[in-house]
């Protein structure tokens, strides 16, 4: 098994949130930013990567994603604001 990433995208600080999981964070966020597929992120213009977390095992990343999707919105906002108080777009620092 390869590792994976859990990530959160938004359209603006404290805006609409999307929690996702992938084995290739750079490629997946690029796909969201380019609107490659019709999706929730395209519909709401969610292109700003504001939080991510690496897992050594993709299965663990999937479990974490599912758990975060069950979290209250305020908990997700706190998670982002603790790691990224300025809601900066972290995508450019990945490549």
pLDDT digits (tens, 9 = 90+) for 48-67: 999 999 999 999 999 999 99
* Predicted local distance difference test score (pLDDT) of residue 37: 83
Tell me the sheet residues that pair with 9.
18, 49
CATH of the domain at 24: 3.40.1440.10
Q: For residues 3 and 22, what is the distance between their CA atoms, to the nearest angstrom?
A: 9
Q: What is the pTM of this model?
A: 0.96
Q: Looking at the 3D structure of the chain, how many domains does it have? A: 1
Q: Residues 60, 61, 64, 66: is their CA dihedral positive or negative? A: negative
Which of 83, 93, 94, 74 has its CA nearest to residue 14? 74
Q: For residues 5 and 88, what is the distance between their CA atoms, to the nearest angstrom?
A: 18
């Amino acid at each position: 098994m390869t590792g994976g990433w859990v990530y959160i995208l938004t359209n603006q600080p404290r805006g609409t949130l999307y929690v996702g999981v992938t084995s290739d964070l750079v490629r997946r966020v690029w796909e969201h930013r380019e609107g490659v597929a019709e999706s929730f992120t395209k519909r709401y213009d969610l292109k700003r990567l504001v939080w991510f977390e690496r897992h050594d095992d993709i299965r663990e990343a999937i479990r974490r994603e599912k758990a975060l999707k069950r979290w209250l919105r305020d908990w997700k906002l706190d998670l982002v604001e603790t790691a990224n108080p300025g809601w900066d777009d972290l995508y450019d620092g990945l490549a």
